[in-house]
Structure 1
Amino acid sequence: MSNQRISLVICTICLSLLNFANIKPAWSQQGAKTDNSMVYAKGNKQRINAFIVLLRLRHDLFLRWKDSGKWPDDKEANAALAAHGEYWAKQLGEGKAVLAGGMEGDYWDNAAVIIFEAESLEQAQQIAKADPAVKSYVFQAQVRPFGVSFITNKYGKKE
């Protein structure tokens, strides 16, 4: 008998023994248990057809920030950024926004990311263009289709 065939037989026997003992190998489980008995797994039932907007800070603001180490005292930009936060909080409240965050650190391509749901690419582009920080040219926005395969249940309600 070849080594490959022997390995296959051994694997089959081991899996049969695990099944007989009602033990599931870790790789077959949906999530992993932690100390507090929470099972982390997929929080969504199906793929989410969403969009991602990549937001890049206006170059002059980025350079002033990087050169001085302090955020520029630009009243118009600061007002637009405050309105930007309110705008996306509203999208979250309406169930459209899925995830938002920005890079931390000193990267040449510092970008923020927002994943959100929309009916079409055109609607997604309209949502991004309606962002006050995009409208006032504080951010440049690029919108792309983005399929969310899973979202962890780690941050959901704990029972």
Structure 2
Amino acid sequence: MDHRVLPFKTELLPGTECVIEGLGSDERLTRHLLEIGIMPGLQVRVVRRGPFGDPVELALPGSHSIVLRNSELASLQCRFLAGPLSALPSKAAGEFRVRALVGNTRYRARMQRLGLEPGSEFRLLPSNHNGRHRLQPASRAEAVEIGRGEAERLIIEAE
């Protein structure tokens, strides 16, 4: 299975984009999702989350949006396209590109020193379970680590 095809995590952050790959095994829920326009191959973007993380608003193609409960989202399989690095599970690995840096001048300068700036490519390495993300920028010989707060502001896209 492609490492970028994963369960639709209920904690996905606003701005995360993915393509729906599967609807799960519950026939009743699958029928409901199909009736409201959620189907395999559909590209969605997380717009916002409710006050306690539920419900979640998804933007659909054609300037439409839909709101789903976390229980409905949990059945979906999605292929990650773009979003904050922290949206990926710690076991994810692979080739990615930096789409944007969302932060102040100091944050952007730190990321640039690490070889992470818009358009730059990097390899995501398996995490060492200390809550930090390990990356191998194409421009550097050694891997770098960034924390969760930095990962939330590093917007990436799949290669």
TM-score band, normalised by the shorter chain? under 0.3
Task: Using structure 1 for the length normalisation, give the TM-score.
Answer: 0.24
Task: Using structure 2 for the length normalisation, give the TM-score.
Answer: 0.24
Decide which structure has the larger Cα Rg and report it: 1
Bigger relative CO (Cα 8 Å, ≥ 6 apart):
1
